[in-house]
Amino acid sequence: MSEEAPKIKLIMELRRRGITDQRVLGAMERVPRELFVPHLFSDQAFDDTALPIDCGQTISQPFVVAYMTQMLAVGDRMKVLEIGTGSGYQTAILAALSRRTYTIERYRPLMIDAERRFKELKISNITTRVGDGLKGWPEQAPFDRIIITAAAEEWPVEICNQLKIGGLMIMPIGKTSTDQKLVRIERTEEDFDVTDLIPVRFVPLVEGVAREN
């Protein structure tokens, strides 16, 4: 089997499951997921499954990354905020589709590793911050798109208010890991329209910056 075969198989699986946006599929094909998974799991880099990374976090299942990105409908002139950098894989996908992606991570070791990967891949349109994701990035607001890759019990109004009018946000909502669902939130002139999407399972969205040992 060639080195490209597992990636081709994954892209075909994503198409079968309803990922039709060619820009999203192209980004998934170009970004080398094997650079974002721990060496121990490198043989599973193109399996359609979530994998553990450092600090008790995970790199999301490729289908979930593709689905969230497709539902976010990122244009190439858009400014995007990501809360929960993790390995940086979703960040790299967003950067391939947007004008600039801002990303916040509460674990400094994860951000250091993600920044190293961005540098290795020569991705220059990502701005990073170690900080409290629940506060968003108000000095860079408003954003065209926001994606949150950890689950909250309810959608955070402070972050929603950093969307442009007409902007979209995708995030998981749920009190426990077994009752989470993705929601898409659109900011309108008067309010926010919330649409339920698919069931998911994410790590919880935690307030504050992680303490360093």
The residues annotated with a catalytic role in the active site are 60
d(CA 69, CA 24): 7
Q: Which of 161, 162, 93 is CA-nearest to residue 125? A: 93
Q: What tokens does 31 get? A: 């970004």
d(CA 140, CA 164): 11
Quote the distance between the C-alpha of residue 153 and its chain's center.
18
Q: Residue 132: phi, psi to the nearest 5? A: -90, 105
Beta strands in 57-204 (DSSP E): 58-59, 79-83, 100-105, 126-130, 143-148, 163-173, 181-187, 192-199
